[in-house]
Structure 1
């Protein structure tokens, strides 16, 4: 019995199972009880991310995953967001067969230096996998000065002498733009995050490049912004759509799946049909993209490959004293489902 099996029996995501088994927020009490009951009935024994007898072991076999939380994308409840939970699960899976242990730590971004120093003083790690989603180059440099064995995930700054492993955001959004153009869309809209970061900026670059190459431009009125971590309908977005129900874009690209799902819910509440009235495409291919109606066309991020490359690089630095720094971009894949249609 594995987490995958429990997820199928409970009809929930692997992220929800992990949250329930670890006593974390992000699932309802009813769902939590259902998952725990299934786990108990099938004799599931969870593998702790760090076993009790490993906590005080030598730092030579301990890797630390660090997420820096704030009020933007990586909130204190970041582990309940499917993308991050899937990424952590994939990292844990890769580390599991390496002889190393993984410790997951969340710290407040406002106290970055003090918190990293404290963690490393309390339990020295052999290396850090840093979730760089919302970090600046200066903050990443600070972490590397405390623990030089470092691989940063989910962002990239080419001018830093630090290891980075990230999805190819430009290529992924480029794929999305080309697909909409191939479907015949010319009146295209863009839904961007109210909170900006490297990933979103690169996705914007790739999408605009794709449609520009095809002779398509996004009209200023066709830019919309939404909260990137809200999965329910959003009133501000709905108000903008209400004002122009008779002259909407034929398609919208959303910078992330959470935003795309929120947009679909908002449009549905206004009586609009996706994709009949408007096509929607997202980015990330989270579990929820398959259960929303209609199923979401999106860009698949290979979180398993990102985790594998990051763990392998970090272990090479530790075991082989590898000093060369790398910047790895993992290409994405277009996943065609039911939220987009051709214009003709």
Structure 2
């Protein structure tokens, strides 16, 4: 057995020459302790390699020390990068994360929220949900809940996201600025707010620049942004005689599928068609041509969501906040002037 494995708080108090209560106050940072005394305690903790029993502490406080994270698809690198930001920030606060993937199943999402009622988690970060307003509001009233990336604009709840509408406007105007007039969009069949806002941004930008019937050039990939659905759609789009000359895809996965579909129609990217993605995932730089895209600060979205959760845990009565992080257009090899 490791010589430190059975170190108790009483051992720390004996070595530091203070009471167990004083050691507890220092470790939990609950009350003011004289700096000299605090230094003695911290030195004893380090010397004995003492590790507090967080589970016991949380039990006494009637908390779990865990944050529930609900994601629609953890295999999607967009969500996994956000989850990384959430998890690494949680560790700064001695919290654990309880990450669950639902595949967009509403019943699973509702079942997972019961974890809060069962005290297996103290708060929740939701990356996307299909739960109705009246079903989620009871949880919002009782527990800290933060929406990250996706959200319901009708609910006054803490959320962190980018400006999806403006990002889509800028992406579309970039393609138009390259000289493309027959511009299309690959959206998704899901009902997420980001999907809706990107579509509206695309349509408004086309209207602003006199491009008519833009809505006819919108196609819809699967709800989960699958590569195969994008590839199949692209083959249909680009097999037409007067096909579009530029395609704005609402995710990098869709852009990747679209590039493969274009190639199967004997088209070169960007010589014959420009293709623009969204998210700036790592693999967007791994293929030829590298994908032009809109950068979302995925890690920072997760980081900001966890910081907001901690603020809500410490200040339960605080007003809901909306945090909009910056996006940016990243120009690479999949787009070019006509």
TM-score computed with the length of structure 1 as normaliser? 0.74
Q: CA deviation at 1:218?
A: 4.2
Unaligned runs of 5+ in 1: 1-52, 69-73
Q: How does 1:23-62 map to 2 (within 5 A)?
A: 58=58, 60=63, 62=65
| In structure 1, distance between residues paired with 2:215 and 2:283 | 30
Match of 2:139 among 121, 139, 143: 143
Shift of 1:96: 1.8
After TM superposition, the structure 1 = structure 2 runs for residues 22-171 of structure 1, keeping only pairs within 5 Å, are 58=58, 60=63, 62-67=65-70, 74=72, 78-106=73-101, 108-117=105-114, 119-145=115-141, 147-171=142-166
What's the offset of the Cα at 1:136? Answer: 4.0
Alignment partner, residue 201 of structure 1 = 196
Alignment correspondent of 2:27:
none
| Cα 1:154/1:340, change in 2 over 3 Å | same
- What is the deviation of 1:278? 0.3
Contact 2:70 2:126 (C-alpha < 8 Å) held by counterparts: yes
Secondary structure of the 1:79 match is: coil
Aligned to 2:74, the other structure's residue is in SS state helix
Counterpart-to-counterpart distance in 2, 1:116 and 1:139: 10
1:333 CA drift (Å): 0.7
Query: How many residues are treated as equivalent by the alignment?
Result: 281
* Unaligned 5+ runs, structure 2: 1-52
Asked which structure has the greater CA Rg, the reply is 2
Give the equivalent residue in structure 2 for 1:280.
275
Instruction: Quote the Cα distance in structure 2 between the aligned partners of 1:175 and 1:88.
Output: 27
Contact 2:149 2:161 in 1 (8 A): yes
Closer/same/farther in 2, CA of residues 149 and 220 from structure 1, 3 Å limit: closer
Cα separation, 2, equivalents of 1:133 and 1:285? 23
TM-score relative to the length of structure 2: 0.75
Counterpart Cα distance in 2 of 1:56 and 1:211? 59
Q: Tell me the distance in 2 between the aligned counterparts of 1:285 and 1:135.
A: 28
Q: CA deviation at 1:133?
A: 4.8
Report if the CA contact (8 A) 1:168-1:329 is conserved. yes
Going from structure 1 to structure 2, the CA distance change for 1:180 and 1:239 (only over 3 Å counts) comes to: closer
The equivalences for 1:240-255 within 5 A come to: 240-242=237-239, 244=240, 246-255=241-250
Write the distance in 1 (CA, Å) between the matches of 2:215 and 2:304. 39
Shift of 1:238: 1.6
